[in-house]
């Protein structure tokens, strides 16, 4: 599952030889994230985010396990048990703020990871499976984060649970039954809280398992790179260790600095004040909003305000919201341009940046109250979101004339156009000869 020139694991110490002959686990690690995995030499900092997402998952699991030792999943005491953690548990405030802000950091790095893939065409053959498994991880993350946000049993916890499970209630005929089944009752209560806690504890380990598949499928073709040109020979690669372990180590430091600044100096910046009010089924908050990482999807959900052909607006919104993620599963086949990297696709590059701005606008509108002008803006932005993936990308693949590709990674590196800078200048044609 690797290039022929990959280094082989040769344990020197007799103990390691003894272990290797009986359980080749060190060999597995060596080949996965050690010197045995050759990686393109021209990766830029956007290739750090996979490792950072893994680190974020690790932080969440460790802090989460300790928090679960002090938390009680019961509507009568859940809110107070969180405050008990904040006030009376040794360093409890640190654990809880790390867990809450760690979720945000996890989504930040995963969104950057996804947009890296979108720009550099990492989803294209032969890496479709990597992309699909990544989307599965993303969906699992969203489910886990949603259920985690319910656990403190504040106002937004309760009403968020009610709204999100209510989405399933929009399904014709069986919707209300499904909603009741999901919640274990007609409204969020102890049954819902307990099952959310149970699943919130389970799903991160499922995520870890899918990450293993994600990395496994990545290692079949090997990592992509900013030129999008496949590895041609040993001169194109360096061993993962020490080259990328060193680079990821530095990236991890930057990640932790930003995380620490948020955790220690603005821990409630990304939270909602209403979640410091205990859940009250009789008092609806003025504006029910999910956590910031759901805002773009929430904006798409709320963009549908008119019934069409007898289909209720709510159902359309639910279909569109789920559709906005499901369509990403078809992306490898929607965008069938043979050129991977956006650096060699001048038109694609422009539309990519429009998409980035579009998603940011959707996010802003999703966090804003459901009133004008936000609704109209999110309708236009949602229209572009769907148009980008379903109309623009397939057409671009046909109509666009890509720039000439470098002959190889090494050629690009030596000519100074490794593509390792994510430039927005669409006129920067590489000077490398067009051997493509």
The answer to whether 190 is a known catalytic residue is no
Q: Which of 58, 126, 273, 433 binds another protein (CB under 8 A)?
A: 273
Residues 206-245 that bind another protein (CB under 8 A): 238, 242-243
Contact of 229 with 434, CB cutoff 8 Å: no
Residues 73-92 that bind another protein (CB under 8 A): 80, 83, 86-87
- Of 326 and 434, nearer to another protein (C-beta) is 326
Instruction: Enter the tokens of residue 379.
Output: 């309708």
d(Cα 267, Cα 171) in Å, to the nearest integer?
Answer: 37
Residues 95-134 that bind another protein (CB under 8 A): 97
Strand-pairing partners, residue 239, are 38
- Of 83 and 190, nearer to another protein (C-beta) is 83
Q: In angstroms, what CA-CA distances link 115 with 44, 112, 121, 131, 406?
A: 14, 5, 10, 12, 23
d(Cα 191, Cα 174) in Å, to the nearest integer?
Answer: 20
The answer to whether 128 is a known catalytic residue is no
Q: Which is catalytic among the residues 7, 70, 84, 219?
A: 219
- Of 65 and 246, nearer to another protein (C-beta) is 246
Which residues are within 8 A (CB) of 163 and not within 5 positions of it... i.e. 6 or more apart? 288, 290
Shortest distance, position 74 Cβ to another protein, whole Å: 17
Contact of 227 with 419, CB cutoff 8 Å: yes
Instruction: Enter the tokens of residue 128.
Output: 């479709």
Site string for another protein, 347-366 (x = CB under 8 A): --------------------
Shortest distance, position 232 Cβ to another protein, whole Å: 16
Closest among 245, 270, 262 to 59, alpha carbons compared: 262
Contact of 377 with 403, CB cutoff 8 Å: no
Shortest distance, position 238 Cβ to another protein, whole Å: 6
Contact of 114 with 134, CB cutoff 8 Å: yes
Q: Which of 93, 111, 216, 322 binds another protein (CB under 8 A)?
A: 93
- Of 211 and 303, nearer to another protein (C-beta) is 303
Phi, psi at residue 42, to the nearest 5°?
Answer: -105, 20
Strands (E), 127-282: 237-239
Site string for another protein, 13-42 (x = CB under 8 A): ----------------------------xx
Q: Which of 15, 253, 310, 401 binds another protein (CB under 8 A)?
A: 253
**Binding of another protein by 269 (CB under 8 A):** no
Closest among 175, 157, 161, 174 to 314, alpha carbons compared: 175
- Select the span of 5-13, 177-185, 211-219, 247-255 touching another protein (CB under 8 A): 247-255
The answer to whether 335 is a known catalytic residue is no
Q: Which is catalytic among the residues 124, 236, 248, 417?
A: 248
Instruction: Enter the tokens of residue 115.
Output: 């947009």
Strands (E), 133-246: 237-239
The answer to whether 423 is a known catalytic residue is no
- Of 105 and 303, nearer to another protein (C-beta) is 303
Q: Around Cβ 202, how many Cβ atoms within 10 Å?
A: 12
d(Cα 260, Cα 5) in Å, to the nearest integer?
Answer: 41
Q: Which residues are catalytic?
A: 219, 223, 247-248, 291
* Interface with another protein (CB under 8 A): 41-43, 80, 83, 86-87, 93-94, 97, 238, 242-243, 246-247, 249-250, 252-254, 256-257, 260-261, 263-265, 267-268, 273-274, 276-277, 286, 303-306, 308, 316, 320, 323, 327, 330, 333-334, 336, 371-372, 375-376, 379-380, 382-383, 386-387, 389-391, 394, 413-414, 418, 420
């Amino acid at each position: 599952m690797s290039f022929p020139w990959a280094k082989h694991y040769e344990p020197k110490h007799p103990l390691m030889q003894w272990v290797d002959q009986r359980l080749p686990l060190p060999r597995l690690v060596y080949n996965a994230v050690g010197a045995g995995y050759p990686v393109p030499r021209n990766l830029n900092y956007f290739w750090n985010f996979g490792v950072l997402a893994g680190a974020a998952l690790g932080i969440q699991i460790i802090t989460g396990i300790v928090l679960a030792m002090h938390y009680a999943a019961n509507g009568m005491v859940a809110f107070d048990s969180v405050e008990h953690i904040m006030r009376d548990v040794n360093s409890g405030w640190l654990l809880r703020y790390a867990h809450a802000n760690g979720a945000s950091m996890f989504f930040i790095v995963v969104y950057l990871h996804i947009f890296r893939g979108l720009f550099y065409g990492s989803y294209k053959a032969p890496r479709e499976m990597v992309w699909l498994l990544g989307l599965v991880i993303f969906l699992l993350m969203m489910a886990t984060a949603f259920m985690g946000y319910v656990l403190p049993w504040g106002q937004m916890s309760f009403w968020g649970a009610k709204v999100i499970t209510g989405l399933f209630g929009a399904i014709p005929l069986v919707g209300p039954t499904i909603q009741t089944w999901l919640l274990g009752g007609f409204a969020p209560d102890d049954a819902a809280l307990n099952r959310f806690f149970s699943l919130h504890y389970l799903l991160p380990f499922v995520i870890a398992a899918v990450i293993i598949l994600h990395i496994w499928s990545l290692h079949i073709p090997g990592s992509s790179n900013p030129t999008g040109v496949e590895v041609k020979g040993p001169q194109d690669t360096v061993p993962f260790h020490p080259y990328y372990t060193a680079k990821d180590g530095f990236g991890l430091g930057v990640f932790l600095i930003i995380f620490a600044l948020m955790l220690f100096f603005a821990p409630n910046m990304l939270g909602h004040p209403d979640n410091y009010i205990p859940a009250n089924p009789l008092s609806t908050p003025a504006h029910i909003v999910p956590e910031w990482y759901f805002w773009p999807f929430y904006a798409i959900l709320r963009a549908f305000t008119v019934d069409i052909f007898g289909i209720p607006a709510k159902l359309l919104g639910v279909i569109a919201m789920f559709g906005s993620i499901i369509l990403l599963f078809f992306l490898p086949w929607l965008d069938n341009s043979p050129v991977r990297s956006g650096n060699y696709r001048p038109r694609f590059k422009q539309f990519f940046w429009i998409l980035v701005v579009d998603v940011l606008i959707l996010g802003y509108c999703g966090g804003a109250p459901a009133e004008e002008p936000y609704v109209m803006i999110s309708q236009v932005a949602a229209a572009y979101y769907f148009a980008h993936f379903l109309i623009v990308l397939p057409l671009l693949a046909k109509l666009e004339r890509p720039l000439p590709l470098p002959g190889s990674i090494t050629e690009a590196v030596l000519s100074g156009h490794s593509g390792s800078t994510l430039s927005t200048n669409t006129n920067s044609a590489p000077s490398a000869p067009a051997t493509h």
